[in-house]
Chains A and B, each alone.
Chain A
Amino acid sequence: MTRCGALVLVGLAIAGGCRRPPQPGDPLPGLTAAERARFDSGRVAFDSVFTPGTGLGPLFNADACGECHEEPVAGGAGDETERHATAFHAVPPAGARPCDELVALGGPVFQQRVTPALRAAVGIDSEPVPPQVTAIATRTSPDVFGFGLLDAVPDSAILVRADPDDRDGDGISGRPNRFFDGRIGRFGRKALVPTLREFNEGAFPTEQGVTNPAAPDEGTFGDRPFPAGTDPTPEPELSREAVDLADFFVRLLAPPAPQRLSRAARPGRELFVRVGCDGCHVPALQTGDSPVAALRYRDVAAYTDLLLHDMGPELADICFANATPSEFRTEPLMGVRLMARFLHDGRATTLEQAIEMHAGEAARSRDRFRTLTAEERAAVVAFLKTL
């Protein structure tokens, strides 16, 4: 080999070997220059702070996406929680579904803040929860890293793992949730929302009270329209272009790269499988086709099957469409090392606590975890902390 050729090979090896793995807040690797520019513009839209004069409220939970998705960077988790409430009747009243999302009464998200104008008009500090509720749920703000990849997973990859009647007898009977129009859901703790685009479009009015062309209705205050003068900004309050940018930013946020396994964590990966965690926390999903090359036909270390699983009565709270109070979507574990609290409502402050709180379909795996030695349990936790 010539000296020049050798130098080229060494250079390529260094370039390949030194590629910095995605850090929290980084875009997916492999974006075009135009996509990268749009991602950067989207970050600005994501961090935009709204005021009543620019559309905030009258009811809201936060004044910017970045208020709740901020740790350690924009798109990360937050310490804010919000209130969701529904009514569930296992034996439904005549002419009703078992789950009432209380949409006509202001639900299912009951905002916790109001603008000064609404406070002055009706004298409230948060949206009242109607007496019809059967459960009020606390929801933490998860990070949204890698959600574009989850969005690009085809429905068929979700359905192929569904086993609603547990025909394989493994005690795990995942099933998909469905949105109200019949499409398969995947986003949200109850897997209600079919696409990331819709999740983002709906988040503006739900979380910030900011309407947009896809969700142009301001909604109601309980079951009443907002009093005159409390919503001064004409609808829609946010342009399609601004929603596009924020959506693009979220879509192209890379999942944090798993860290190198330490000696302590190495056996944890094998134990994770041996106790059966991977029955629901499926280590890898594959994306399908996408107009964005960086999302197309990729493996994503999601550690979820995007299906609903019964988690037992202790964790049960609200219902959503087909999801009963005790059913939750398998939480993706990508980026779990960045979380300070665990489970849908943040009730667990350590990963070991979170595992201990698994029940229902996860009871077998939890019990196997309990039979591990202290060293083995620590290895599982150490492995999770690399994700």
Chain B
Amino acid sequence: MNPFVLASLAIIAAFPTAATAQQPTHNVQGAVRQVDVRGRALEVTTGVGMALRVVRLQVPADVRVTAAGAAVPLSQLAPGDIVRVSYGGRPGGYLAYTIERVGRIATGLEVAP
């Protein structure tokens, strides 16, 4: 391969995609409170001790939602699912980067973290 092309590919690879080029990535693991499939929005309950909070996320169509390693549609998420989400800030709210279902609040984690 042409060294110039190789260098260009390396540079492209070094930069994040549009989604991950947002603000610093945060991670949260919490319980799904609400799913709005049509509006591509997700609310996750989390917090520290009794200081609880709800993280409201927009979920772009290209965001990968997984469960047990397999891709699932957003509509497969339900209130009470425990999800691990990476997300970032943007003007007007938070944007999900990845969403992984890891259990149900009624039964706990499917796999210990």
A157 at the interface (CB under 8 A from B): no
At the interface with chain A, which of B10-18, B40-48, B62-70, B86-94? Answer: B40-48
Whether B33 lies near A202 (C-beta < 8 A) is no
**Which interface residue of B30, B34, B79 has the most chain A CB atoms within 10 A?**
B79
Residues in A whose Cβ lies below 8 Å from that of B33: 96-97, 103-104
Residue of A101, A181, A198 ringed by the most chain B CB atoms within 10 A? A181
On chain B, the residues within 8 Å of A43 by CB distance are none
The stretch of A119-127, A145-153, A213-221 in contact with B is A213-221
> How far, in whole Å, are A304 and B103 apart by their CA atoms in the complex?
27
Judging by beta carbons under 8 Å apart, are B46 and A95 in contact? no
How many residue-residue contacts, CB under 8 A, span A and B?
A: 94
Bound CA–CA A201/B48 (angstroms): 7
For A103, the chain B residues whose CB sits under 8 A away are 33, 45, 47, 52-54
Between B35, B44, B46, B47, the greatest number of chain A beta carbons within 10 A of the residue's beta carbon is seen for: B47
Other-chain contact of A181, B30, B49, B53 (Cβ < 8 Å): B30
- What secondary structure prevails in chain B residues at the interface with A? strand
B68 to chain A, nearest CB (A): 15
Please give the distance in Å from B101's CB to the nearest CB on chain A. 11
Chain A hits for B46, CB < 8 A = 180-181
Q: At the interface, yes or no: B105 with Cβ under 8 Å from chain A?
A: yes
A214 to chain B, nearest CB (A): 5
Chain A positions within 8 Å of B29 at CB level: 181-182
Distance of B76 from chain A, by nearest CB (Å): 13
A204 to B33, CA, bound (A): 25
A residues 272-305 near B (Cβ < 8 Å) are none
Say whether A178 contacts B50, CB under 8 Å: no
Out of A95, A214, A321, name the residue touching B105 (CB < 8 Å).
A321
Cβ of B82 < 8 Å from any Cβ of A?
A: yes
Are A180 and B49 in contact, CB atoms less than 8 angstroms apart? no
Assembly CA distance A108 to B46 (angstroms): 13
Contact B31 A97 (CB under 8 A): yes
Given the known interface contacts A95-B35, A181-B29, A182-B82, the answer about A206 and B106 at a Cβ–Cβ threshold of 8 Å is no
User: In the bound complex, how far is the Cα of B49 from the Cα of A204, in angstroms?
Assistant: 10
**Nearest CB to that of B80 among chain A residues?**
A97
C-alpha spacing A104/B52, complex, angstroms: 9
Chain A residue, CB-CB nearest to B44: A180
Q: Are A96 and B34 in contact, CB atoms less than 8 angstroms apart?
A: yes
A202 with B105, Cβ < 8 A, contacts A95-B35, A96-B79 known: no
Most A Cβ at <10 Å: residue of B53, B105, B109: B105
Are A217 and B35 closer than 8 Å at their CB atoms?
no
Q: Within the complex, which residue of B30, B49, B108, B109 is in contact with A198, where a contact is CB–CB below 8 Å? A: B49
Binding site for B on A (CB under 8 A): 92, 95-97, 101, 103-104, 107-109, 178, 180-184, 187-188, 192-193, 198-206, 214-215, 217, 219, 321-322
- 25 A-B residue pairs with Cβ-Cβ distance under 8 Å, sorted by A, are A101-B45, A101-B52, A103-B33, A103-B47, A103-B52, A107-B52, A178-B106, A180-B30, A180-B31, A180-B105, A181-B31, A182-B29, A182-B82, A182-B105, A183-B108, A187-B49, A193-B49, A198-B49, A204-B51, A205-B51, A215-B51, A217-B51, A321-B105, A322-B105, A322-B106
Further contacts, 13 of them, CB under 8 A, given A97-B79, A109-B50, A180-B52: A95-B35, A103-B52, A182-B102, A187-B49, A192-B50, A198-B48, A201-B48, A202-B48, A203-B51, A215-B48, A215-B49, A215-B51, A219-B51
Residues of B within 8 A of A (CB): 29-31, 33-35, 43-54, 78-80, 82, 102-103, 105-106, 108-109
